[in-house]
Structure 1
């Protein structure tokens, strides 16, 4: 199984690929789209586009575009849009997010858990700037550390993860200001991890013996061990609504 296939299976029971409850997702979208619900929404690294289809279903005048490198995820996104009857208002692009350009800027842009695809928080915000219309807003989701991470956790996530204050400072240094935010609760963080490991395990146990079954079980076990034995007590996730500071 490819990495993106494992991820897709792992998110079967938690379609938002971030530690956020349905209520938090709804509230963040409403805040992001305040005064922009008749405009255009872009999701960079959209996956199966759960943010977009939910936004389109709630706002009949909204149009949306999603960009991702996983063609299977984009096909799933189209199916979800069709099920909700919003497929005519969404465009899906199989493309590296770093290569996406537009001549018609967007009123709001999402980049939730996808800044790594640009090389980090600063490069992500720099790339988003030209895609955003004047007065627009960005929904940015980023991991952060509460306290000093363990050596194994630090190695797992790399050097780009800051503490919460450092994350907000990096946003400000890049020329943006938070106008709203949500720090995921322990319940949201745990629900996400249990769903990730549990969905993958459940899928594997329904498969006949073979390489895919063993790989899925191994991936779930390794992830569970890294979470419970490494980063659970220090890992956090913040989702910010940003606007340009000038």
Structure 2
């Protein structure tokens, strides 16, 4: 049970595995008005930056769950680095079926709604761990504008135009599921650049060090095409944000 190796190669230097900068992650924590002792469940927690920095800065406690052995070890190392191992725990497991034994104050899936088969299923999954009156965080892509063609959608990494919604429709979707949107923090093009372009240096450094690896041809092909694809399509059309929800 693990992520395919290409994912950990691509994001080997990343502490945040989505288009958020450290400043935006900090802004989200401040916007949520977190208080010491807030209990958090973070599904698909990656390298643990959200839980670890919020434990340091706000005194939250919690558990992160991720399917990647590499990212889980990075999360544990980050917790040790920030001296918050007494507050946060990281579990290597499939987050798609994970429910907290005790209800939590904040349940999050920031950028991995495939664990629930999409937004609807992920909201249902998180709600099973959330205490009444708690806050849910969903990180999700959205179209910055109406997508002109299926080709543009697939070039942005989607299966088609219907994979994502434009921002107002995504917010309406949350309302249709019975939740109020109580905060949003959105990525911008600069933070997208930092997330996406950092992958290219990771890929190039890995390729230079591993020219004979079985993944070398795949990495070379991605590095040759991804910067142009990103600049031509994804940067202009795809947005991303974290949405804080409370049940009505």
Settle same-fold status: TM greater than 0.5: yes
Tell me the residue number matched to 1:97: 95
Distance 1:3 1:39, change over 3 A: closer
The reply on whether 1:237 has 2:235 as its aligned counterpart is no
Report the CA distance between 1:206 and its aligned residue.
3.2
Specify the SS of the correspondent of 1:232: helix
Please, what TM-score do these two structures have when normalized by structure 1?
Answer: 0.89
Q: 1:207 aligns with which of 207, 210, 234?
A: 210
Specify the SS of the correspondent of 1:239: strand
Report the CA distance between 1:201 and its aligned residue.
1.7
Q: 1:122 aligns with which of 120, 123, 128?
A: 120
Specify the SS of the correspondent of 1:192: helix
Distance in structure 2 (CA, Å) of the matches to 1:50 and 1:160:
27
Consecutive unaligned residues of structure 2, counting only runs of 5 or more, are: none
Specify the SS of the correspondent of 1:110: strand
1:152-201 per-position Cα deviation (integer Å, ceiling 9, x unaligned): 23233123211101110111111111111122212112222111222222
Tell me the residue number matched to 1:6: 6
Report the CA distance between 1:35 and its aligned residue.
4.7
Specify the SS of the correspondent of 2:181: strand
Tell me the residue number matched to 1:142: 140
Distance in structure 1 (CA, Å) of the matches to 2:53 and 2:34:
17
1:26-52 per-position Cα deviation (integer Å, ceiling 9, x unaligned): 0102223x2543121111111111111
Query: Does the CA-based 8 Å contact 1:205-1:213 persist in structure 2?
Result: no
Report the CA distance between 1:112 and its aligned residue.
0.9
The reply on whether 1:20 has 2:13 as its aligned counterpart is no
Q: 1:185 aligns with which of 185, 188, 191?
A: 188
Tell me the residue number matched to 2:169: 166
Specify the SS of the correspondent of 1:79: helix
Consecutive unaligned residues of structure 1, counting only runs of 5 or more, are: none
Report the CA distance between 1:3 and its aligned residue.
5.6
Distance 1:15 1:35, change over 3 A: closer
Query: Does the CA-based 8 Å contact 2:65-2:91 persist in structure 1?
Result: yes
Query: Does the CA-based 8 Å contact 1:67-1:95 persist in structure 2?
Result: yes
Tell me the residue number matched to 1:86: 84
Distance 1:216 1:136, change over 3 A: same
Distance in structure 2 (CA, Å) of the matches to 1:14 and 1:76:
10
How many matched pairs? 242
Q: 1:195 aligns with which of 194, 198, 211?
A: 198
Distance 1:147 1:208, change over 3 A: closer
Query: Does the CA-based 8 Å contact 1:120-1:160 persist in structure 2?
Result: no
Q: List structure 1 runs of 4+ shifted beyond 4 angstroms.
A: none
Distance 1:23 1:244, change over 3 A: same
Distance in structure 2 (CA, Å) of the matches to 1:210 and 1:72:
19
